Amino acid sequence: MARLIFLFVMLLSGACATKKASRNEEILTVAMRNQLFNTQGVMQNLFDEKDPMFLSLEKNKCIDNWASEVFSLRKKLRSVKTDKEKFNIFLKLGNCHNYIKDFGQSIYYYNIVLGSKFLTPKISSIINFNLAQMYELSGQGVLAFSLYKESLRLNSKNNLARLKIGILEYQQGEFVASNQHFNKLKTKFPQSEILKFLIGVNYYHMNKLNSLKNKVLNGLDEKSLSSVLLVMARDLSMKNKQKQILVDLKNLDVNYKLHLEFKDHLFNRFGIVK
């Protein structure tokens, strides 16, 4: 699952200056180092959430020690004897380059893996997922969406691919289809607050406020950010509560991306663009 952590990385751009590396490290530009720091921060935020949906995610060596790990992999590539060993190294190198937004190198290594006799549906699913991320971040949403669906087709147990499809369908206004994916995931992760929140957001947009209350809010800790935001959304149509909701929104500290986007949506209901 560590390979799929790329799902939530909001990659940054930066300057192209370089940093001198040791004899046993690959050189990273400042821009690449910024991307890596951002990846580390996003992954730490996911761990801090402690949501069951993400508990299986693991850090790999590229996250914490990118320069030395990539140097080691490339050095090993020159000495391994079997095609299977080379296959595994090419896959790792493709994944490593995702973390620094070096898409050209990632695609180069992934193409080698995709043409290998050792390719399995599970690995192909991972690669399609990561390629979808690249195209999404490059503004090619239609192609990205088709690759996410192909990733899920290749491996129906790819939970992050299903989650991503559900999020994209929500963003496209396909709230019913979106909730079908979220509810399937909820059967695997019944205690996931993030899934409950996303299902609740869809109910809110469908104006199914009874379902929001009975199927979502009743199962959330009322002090959680997910619950607080959804209660605000539910009560937004009540004129006697609008003033207090706006005050509470302004004072609400939100860091998680999905919560932040919904908070911004609620601000927009007041004509405030964030």
> Which residue pairs from 19-26 have beta carbons closer than 8 angstroms and sit at least 24 positions apart in sequence?
21/67, 24/68, 24/71, 24/72, 25/67, 25/68, 25/71, 26/66, 26/67, 26/68, 26/70, 26/71, 26/74
| Cα gap 171→159, rounded to integer Å | 18
Are 73 and 24 in contact by the 8 Å Cβ rule? The answer is no
pLDDT in tens, 246-261: 999 999 998 888 999 9
26: left (phi over 0), alpha (psi -120 to 50) or beta: beta
| Cα gap 34→203, rounded to integer Å | 38
| Single pTM value for the model | 0.86
Are 102 and 93 in contact by the 8 Å Cβ rule? The answer is no
pLDDT in tens, 12-47: 233 333 344 456 678 888 888 888 888 888 777 777
Q: What is the mean pLDDT of the segment spanning 74-81?
A: 94
Q: What is the mean pLDDT of the segment spanning 47-52?
A: 83
pLDDT of residue 23: 61
Question: What are the phi and psi torsion angles at 161 (to 5°)?
Answer: -65, -45
| Cα gap 157→142, rounded to integer Å | 23
